[in-house]
Every structure is written in structure tokens, then in C-alpha cells.
Amino acid sequence: MTLGLGLKDVRITLGGRDLLSLDCVIEPGTVLTVMGPSGSGKSTLLSFVAGFLTAPFTAEGRILLNGADITDALPEARHVGLLFQDPMLFPHLSVGGNLLFGMPPGSPDRLASAGEALDRFGLEGFADRDPATLSGGQASRVALLRLLLSEPKAALLDEPFSKLDRHLRGDIRRFSFERLRDAGLPTVLVTHDPEDAEAAGGPVVELAGTG
Amino acid sequence: MRPNGCGGTEYGDTFTAGADCMLRVAPYLVAAILTGPVLAGSLGALIPSFGFLPSLGHDEFGLDAWRALLDWPGIGGSVLLSFASGILTAGVSLLLALLFLAVFFETRAFVWLRQAIAPMLAVPHAAAAFALAFLIAPSGFLARLLSPWATGWQRPPDLLIVQDEWGLSLMAGLVMKEVPFLLLMALASLAQIHAGERMRLARSIGYGRISAWFKSVVPALYPLLRLPVYAVIAYSSANIDVALILGPVSPPPLAVQVLRWSNDPDLDFRMIASAGAILQFAVTAGAIALWILAERCVGLLTRGWLVSGRRRTGDTGLAALGQGLFPTLILASILGIAALGLNAFARVWRFPDALPGRWTLAHWQSVAETAGGPVVATLWIALLTTLLSLVLVVCVLENERQRDVRSGRILEFLIYVPLLVPQIGFIFGLVLLAELAETPPGGGLVAAGHIIFVLPYVYLSLSEAYRRQDPAWTKIARTLGQSAAGAFWKVRLPMLLTPLLTAFAVGAAISIGQYLVTRLLGAGRVETVTTEAIALAAGGDRRLIGAWALTQAILPVAGFALALAAPRLIWRNRRGMLGGVR
């Protein structure tokens, strides 16, 4: 069995036109950075891996996660976590509720482990907070924590740092990549920003614009 | 293997098969509810109008009913009145709504205006009409406030203000209710046409506020308001409840005349009523057709003006007009409601005293003794029909999202069918059909009739917020391990709580205000607060009318208050839930 996220002969097309082709394996704890201009199909790649690809895009090829073929699995059965530009914390739940939402049910002391996780992330006592009252940096950390606590086997990052203030961006970026590496997750990062690619420290794929 | 990217539903799956089936059926069911009764009812009126009504022993086609209709004294006046009140009410309401928006758009008062609209809409037409009548009648609140110091009147002047033969008070009453409706519909469209950017751009190159609004926003806004405006024409040309209170008595507007015929103990009048109902279709259609012609003319005439480069066209005067009229209308509404309240508690109230001399609770005791049944009937019908409508509308909107297609222009148009077709036209036909099918009149039939009108408003109220919700919420929930159903119940619906509650309050208010459907399909066996209040109109007991009209208004307004207060309470620690939809 191969550990990691394998993208085998993946080809994404739009109306018969090739957007991107990719054939690679992302090892656990490494980040594959996909760069390219808007419309080059980078976000579509993430949709394909996460199970959200919709018309008019089509894709072929297989997605292998730790040896298992998840190409046809339902999104919730893939164990692939997503981070967007916005933290997208559920506004109707508390910070703790957001974490518990993603944690697998039935595990003992879910509440306690959510609290401990917040402590580790420098967010002591935040469990009862309203997500709307968090700063941008705090919200990003909660979003990352929510992803990690849902025990995914891979992570997909869709320009997650692009909306952060410049002075925060470096710190959050470093922090996020460290945690993803510690968790041993194979990660795909989609971005415009060369600094993101540099900080990610993994292989980089540059997509051509389609003009 | 499932082909990627062309799954039938959002992300290739799957609510349970049952739920999925329900979603697929919902748009067809809604289309059937919106059009079926209208079509059947129209036929049900059309056929008897040509003499064929077997239940009364008429089984030969002929034109007698039409001849009787056209020979009826005053029929021309009735037709003209209905036609004119359709066109004029719509014209005045549209101009006022656009003027208010021009004057107040993105000012501090705008926030307030947004919030004032919901309760203004919630007040039923009948209660608003009574309020206006109590305000402007010769012995009304306004005359009392101004007498004798300003008018010199020691006794009520002998003027026919309410129920005047020109229908002016009728149109005024309709305008008071249609302006908030058009404002609401316009507000829902402003974001879509980027009204803020348009205004800022036009202002930055030197256009005055009013000119900027009418030259840069209205040309984009009006196409989105077209159907609501037609609905206003249809409603105003065929309305019954306001007309019974404020409209002229002889000749009455056509719809009222048709209602009189259909209530006539001599059942043969039903044939004339059928012909009258069909004539009402023609009158309403004619009014809308004339309006469309006028639209074209206005379009042609303003083409040059739009690009003339003139930065100000009467801006100062129009701004002053809008700034003056809006508070006046609000003040009139408040005074009207106050007049209802004062009457409801008055024992002795001599003219020209501004306030009653002696007070009493007797009218309320009388209401309390008789209101129990009607209140219960009103509530169960409103709650049941609104709940069913809300479920159906959510199914339609969810189906649209799952299959990633707009239900299409067809459904968007069908939503307006019950609002564009005169009620008296097809409801009377439905009554004849129900008799034919030997369906006993009663609560069930009334509730079924209410759904036809509740459904469109629930849809109009909810659809924008529902569509605007970011699909990324589903994606986040799914990647966190939730099924499609889990994402729907645990994330999407809770996040939509505020718009869902608002839609519920809107739907309930519409049901509570229904008069004609309740009256005709209930055949007198179903009494609601609305039928009770309007039944008092003919009697003219002001004290009792005041108490009943307030009762009628309180129910929907309380519904709105609950719908606005509940999210604030539930989400008091969730600031992100109290803004707009995310």
C-alpha cells in the first residue's frame, strides 16, 4: 500500500478543452503547491479531489488515498479536509461547537479534547466564544483546528491565506504548514502567491493560463 | 462507475430516495397549486356565464346572462371604477415607492424604512382601510383634531369623503398598502442591480440624487418590478375587502357587484355573477394591457432625457416632496391606528372633541365573547397553510440547488399567476365546481384556497435569501463528515432561520388577511377575524369595528414581532447570524 495522496493520470476538461493534467503522489506531511492564473483549473482540481466536481467540468483519472481508490466515494466518506479563503466558521455554532461538529461521534471526552486542542493552539477558553467575535488570525486557527480534529487523511487548501492581513499572513502560514506536517497529512495547496509556495516547501506545479 | 461531473444532483448524491423524490415532485406540485385552481375556477365561471349550470337546471347555452349583465344599471360605472382604480393605484404607488427610494436610498432613514416596511405590510388590508376611514371621515379623527379651532366645524360637515363616488378614498386606501409592497419588492432587487454603485457613479459625475436615481437605477430596477406592479394593478382593479369599506356603494366596483350577485338568495343571479366574473378578467387584463402600452410610451419618451446629460430635473422639488410625503404617510398610518384604538375604548365621543369623553371596555368584552371561534379558525388555517407552503417552497428551492438549475422562468412566472388573476373571477368558479363535486364548504376547503395565495408570498419572501446562501457551507460540512441530509439539517437550515421565520410571518399575515376565499369557500360556515371585521363594515358600529379591526391587525403584527424577536433571542450570542445571509 502506498501512503499519501495519489493523483493518477488526472485530467480535467471544460467543454472538451484540457485544463490540466497531473500524475503524482503527495507523500504524507508534504505539500504540493499548484500555481496558476485564474481560470487555469486549480480550484477545480480541489473540487475533484474533495468530491464536489459539477458540470460543466469533467475529470478523468483516479484519486488514491493511502492506497484506497476514493474517486467515486461520497465527499463525506473521503476523509479529505478543506480550507477556503474565508475561515467559514459556522456562525450559528460556538467555537467549541464548530470543533465538535467535525469531530467523529462517539469518541470519549470529545468536549475535553476540543478544549485541550484549543489550548494547544493558543486559544484557551475560546470554546464558548461566538465565532463572529474572533480576529482574522484567531478564526483561521479555529478553521485549521476544526479540519485537524475531523481526523482527515489529506488536506486541500484553496488560497487560505490570501485574505489575511499582510502582517499576519507569514505567521499563520508557518503555523498552518507546521501543524499539517505534524499531522502527517498529504496536502494540496492552490495559490497565486509565490511566498505561499516557498513556505510550503514542497513540489510546485505551475499551470499555464488558458488565455 | 458514476461519471464525474454529470451526476443528477449536487455532488452526485443523495438525500434518501424518498426525500429526493419529494424534491423532484415539488416544483410540479407547486405549479399545479398555482395554476390548477385558477384554470379550473376560470372555466367554472366561464361555462355558466353562457347559460350552462346543470346544478340549477340550466343546461342550454345562451347569452342571457351576458345580456342581463350588460343591461344592469350602473355596470358601466362599475367597470370604469375598477379599471381606473387598477391603473391609478398602481401608478401612484409605483411613483411614490420610487420617489421614497430615490430620496432615502443609503441615508440613515433608509435603515429605518427597511424596518418599517414589515409591520406596514403585516397590517391586513381591511384593518388599514378601516384605519383610513376612521381618520378621514367627516366625523373622523383628523376632523376632530382640526375642529373647531382650524375648521370652525361644530358638527361633522356634510361631505361624502369615505366611499366617495369617484373611488378616491378607495384608491388612497389601496395606495397605503401597495406602496410598502412595492418598496419591499424593490429593496429585494437593489443588490442584484448594484444600485449603490450606480448611484455613486452618477453622483460622482454631477447628477443630483433624484436624477441619478431615475436615470441610472430605475431603468435597471423597473424590469424587476414589472410583475409586482402588474400584481398591484390586478389586486387594485379587483379588490373586495378594501372596496367594501372605502369604495363607492352605487355603483360599486365590479368585483363587489359580482360578490353581491353571487350572494343573492335568488340562485339564478349566479349566471350573471359568472358573466361578471369573466368581465372582471377582461377589465383586469385590459388595465394591465393599457399599462404595458404606457410602459412603451414612457420608454420612448424618456429615451432622449436619459442621455440628455442634464444633471438635475426638478431634483430640489422632488426631494422636498419625498421628504415631506413619507413622514406624512407614516403619521397618517399611526393616526389611523390610533383612531381605531380610541374608538375601541370610547364610550362617549362627542364631535368635535379630539378624545373620547368617557371610556369603556365594553366593546372588548363583546369581542372577547365572540372572538374565540374566529381567532382559533384564523390561527389554525394560517399556521397550517403557511407551514405547508413553507415546506413546499423549501423543497422547490432545494431541488433547484441540488440539481444546480434555476427552476426556470416558468415557475418564476407561475408564482405570479394567483396574484395577477382577479380573485373573484376564479374563486367564484371554484365555488360552483365544489358544489358540482358535492364538496362541503368548510375549513378544509378554505385552507386549500388560502394556500393558493400564501404560497407565492412565501416563495417571494424566501427565495432570494435561499439562493444567496454560499454553497461552500455545504462543502465544508460534507468534508467534515456530514451527509447531504446532515449538511442540510444541521448547517443550511439553521443558518436560514431568520429568513425562514420572516417568510412564515409573511405567509401567516397573508392567510389572516384573506377575505374573499374565506367568505366564498367557507360559505359562511368558517368565520375568521377578517370576515368578522368586514361583516361589521355595513353596520357602521364604529366602536365594535375599532375593536375588531385591531384584533385583526394584532394577529399578523404579533407574528412579525415574534419572527423578528426570536432570532435576536436565539442568536443573542451569535453576532454572525444577525446580519444578512452568508
Question: What single DSSP character describes residue B68?
Answer: H
* Separation between Cα atoms, residue B47 and residue B369, nearest integer Å: 44
Most confident among A189-193, B319-323, B388-392 (mean pLDDT)? B388-392
Looking at the partner chain, which of B10, B479, B574 has a beta carbon nearest the beta carbon of A91? B574
Contact A92 B5 (CB under 8 A): no
How is residue B70 written as a grid cell? 350588460
Average pLDDT estimate for A115-144: 93
DSSP for A68-118, please give it: EE-TTS-GGGS-EEEE-SS----TTS-HHHHHHHHSPTT-TTHHHHHHHHH
Could you report the per-residue pLDDT of B256-309, keeping only the tens digit for each? 999 999 888 888 888 899 999 999 999 999 999 999 999 999 999 999 889 888
Largest CA-CA distance found in chain B, in angstroms, rounded: 89
- ipTM of model over 0.90: yes
Chain A's closest residue to B567, CA to CA, is A92
Could you report the per-residue pLDDT of B179-233, keeping only the tens digit for each? 999 998 999 889 889 999 999 999 999 999 999 999 999 999 999 999 999 999 9
The strand pairing partners of A80, in sequence order, are: A154
Write down the pLDDT at residue B415.
93
A119–B contact, CB cutoff 8 A: no
Per-residue pLDDT band at B13 (split at 50, 70, 90) = low
Per-residue pLDDT band at B155 (split at 50, 70, 90) = confident
- Mean pLDDT over all residues of chain B? 89
State yes or no: pLDDT of A108 exceeds 90: no
Could you report the per-residue pLDDT of A5-19, keeping only the tens digit for each? 999 999 999 888 888
Please report the domains of chain B, with CATH numbers, ordered by start residue: 76-249+275-359 (1.10.3720), 361-390+423-582 (1.10.3720.10)
Write down the pLDDT at residue B216.
93
Tell me how crowded residue B578 is: count the other CB atoms within 10 A of its CB. Answer: 13
How is residue B401 written as a grid cell? 440547488
Write down the pLDDT at residue A166.
86
* Separation between Cα atoms, residue B549 and residue B95, nearest integer Å: 29
* Separation between Cα atoms, residue B138 and residue B553, nearest integer Å: 24
Write down the pLDDT at residue A209.
60
DSSP for B434-502, please give it: HHHTTPPPSHHHHHHHHHHHHHHHHHHHHHHHHHHS-THHHHHHHHTT--HHHHIIIIIHHHTHHHHHH
User: SS3 for B158?
Assistant: coil
Interhelix angle B542-570/B108-122, nearest 10 degrees:
120
Per-residue pLDDT band at B582 (split at 50, 70, 90) = low
In whole angstroms, how far apart are CA B288 and each of A39, B171, B178, B237, B420? 46, 17, 16, 10, 9
In whole angstroms, how far apart are CA A206 and each of A20, A41, A162, A191? 10, 11, 18, 10
Contact B13 A71 (CB under 8 A): no
Q: Are A25 and A61 contacting, i.e. CB atoms less than 8 angstroms apart? A: no
Write down the pLDDT at residue A211.
39
DSSP for B177-225, please give it: HHHHHHHHHHHHHHTTTTHHHHHHHHHHTT--HHHHIIIIIHHHHHHHH
Write down the pLDDT at residue B548.
93
* Separation between Cα atoms, residue B433 and residue B44, nearest integer Å: 6
Write down the pLDDT at residue B406.
63
**Chain A CB contacts of B10 below 8 Å:** 54
Contact A60 B4 (CB under 8 A): yes
Average pLDDT estimate for B54-75: 84
Burial, A60: exposed, middle or buried (Cβ in 10 Å; 0-12, 13-18, 19+)?
middle
- Number of A:B CB contacts under 8 A? 106
**Chain A CB contacts of B2 below 8 Å:** 72
What are the backbone dihedrals phi and psi of residue B474, each rounded to the nearest 5 degrees, phi first? -65, -45
How is residue B131 written as a grid cell? 384605519
Looking at the partner chain, which of B404, B481, B582 has a beta carbon nearest the beta carbon of A102? B481
Tell me what percent of chain A is helix, strand and coil, each rounded to the nearest 5: 35, 25, 40
Chain B's closest residue to A130, CA to CA, is B574
Side chain identity at residue B578, one-letter code: L
**Chain A CB contacts of B497 below 8 Å:** 92
Say whether pTM exceeds 0.80: yes
Contact B483 A58 (CB under 8 A): no
State yes or no: pLDDT of A94 exceeds 90: yes
**Considering chain B, what percentage of its residues have pLDDT values greater than 70?**
96
State yes or no: pLDDT of B236 exceeds 70: yes
Q: In terms of C-beta distances under 8 Å and separation of at least 24 residues, what long-range contacts does B156-164 make, across chains too?
A: B156/B351, B161/B136, B161/B137, B162/B133, B162/B136, B162/B137, B162/B246, B163/B246, B163/B247, B163/B248, B163/B249, B164/B248
In whole angstroms, how far apart are CA A181 and each of A185, A201, A203, A205? 6, 11, 14, 19
Cβ-Cβ contacts under 8 Å for B80 (sequence gap 6 or more): none
Looking at the partner chain, which of B476, B482, B574 has a beta carbon nearest the beta carbon of A88? B476
Write down the pLDDT at residue B407.
60
**Chain B CB contacts of A80 below 8 Å:** 479
Could you report the per-residue pLDDT of B525-581, keeping only the tens digit for each? 899 999 999 998 888 788 999 999 999 999 999 999 999 889 889 988 888 887 655
Contact A72 B490 (CB under 8 A): no
State yes or no: pLDDT of B7 exceeds 60: no
**Chain B CB contacts of A53 below 8 Å:** 4-5
Q: Å from B113 to nearest chain A CA? A: 27
State yes or no: pLDDT of A29 exceeds 70: yes
Write down the pLDDT at residue A40.
80
Could you report the per-residue pLDDT of B378-412, keeping only the tens digit for each? 999 999 999 999 999 999 999 888 876 666 678 88
Which secondary structure element, helix H or strand E, spans residue B433, and what is its range?
helix B423-436
Q: What is the 3-state secondary structure (H, E, C) of B128-146?
A: HHHHHHHHHCCCCHHHHHH
How is residue A203 written as a grid cell? 513540489
